[in-house]
Every structure is written in C-alpha cells, then in structure tokens.
Amino acid sequence: MSLKITKECINCGACELECPNKAIYEGGKNWSLSDGTSIKNLFIYNKGKKIYKDKKYKYLSKKKYYIVKEKCTECIGFFKYPQCASVCPVDCCIKDKKNKESIKELLLKQKLLHPNT
C-alpha cells in the first residue's frame, strides 16, 4: 500500500528529498507521473481512470506535503524500508490502509515508473 502524510506534518521537506519515485510534493504544487521517473507508457489506469504521463494534476493538499499514491511503491525496488517514514521527524508518514497493494503490485508499479532499473 502507499503511504500518506498526516496533518501533523511540519513541512520540513526532508521526505521529499529521499523519495526515489518523486511521489512526495510540497503543498500547493501540482504533480505528474513523469516528475522524477522514466515512465515510458503514455498513461496508466487507476481504478478505470486514465492518468497521463506528462499531465500536471492538481495538488492533493494546499498547505502540507502530500504523497501521490500512483507513484508511491513503499520504496520497493530501491530500499528495504519507506524512506519518508525513516526521515520524518514527527512520524507522520504512515501506511494508507485505503490503498492496499501486494508486494507484486508494488514491484510492477516500480517497473512501470522506472523501466530501466
């Protein structure tokens, strides 16, 4: 499952620097699949909805850092443990139980985002 950032976030920015998928964004900044990845597919499906590689999608939080579930792999494929949770000084990067994914699904996502790894 992907991780999420809770309202306890103090906006220090430490997690953003550590994410291998560029799945973490500062509040108020828009996101895209291609930021920090080498995805080749022009789009992916998420619950039947097309998400385009280069399209900029509206931020998910205006004031706090946030995680894009379509990009978070729990760091699988890069690190043993979620890097955001490891560096967060207030322990507010937690598993998002609403987005359950198997290890296999997370690995597939990682390969989709980084086909050359």
Q: How far lies 107's CA from each of 9, 75, 80, 90, 115, in Å?
A: 28, 9, 13, 28, 11
The one segment of 10-18, 35-43, 53-61, 98-106 that binds ligand SF4 by CB under 6 A: 10-18
Site for ligand SF4 in 56-95 (CB under 6 A): 65, 67, 72-75, 82-84, 87-90, 92-93
In this structure, what token pair is assigned to residue 91? 């322990």
Q: With binding defined as CB under 6 A, does residue 15 bind ligand SF4?
A: yes
CA atoms of 53 and 82, how far apart (whole Å) = 24
Is residue 4 a contact partner of residue 68, using CB atoms and an 8 Å limit?
no
Residue 53 or 114 having the CB closest to ligand SF4:
114
Count of residues that bind ligand SF4 according to CB under 6 A = 30
Q: With binding defined as CB under 6 A, does residue 12 bind ligand SF4?
A: yes
Of 77, 57, 78, 76, nearest to 68 by C-alpha is 57
The residues of the shown chain that bind ligand SF4, judged by CB under 6 A, are 3, 5, 9-15, 18-21, 23-24, 65, 67, 72-75, 82-84, 87-90, 92-93
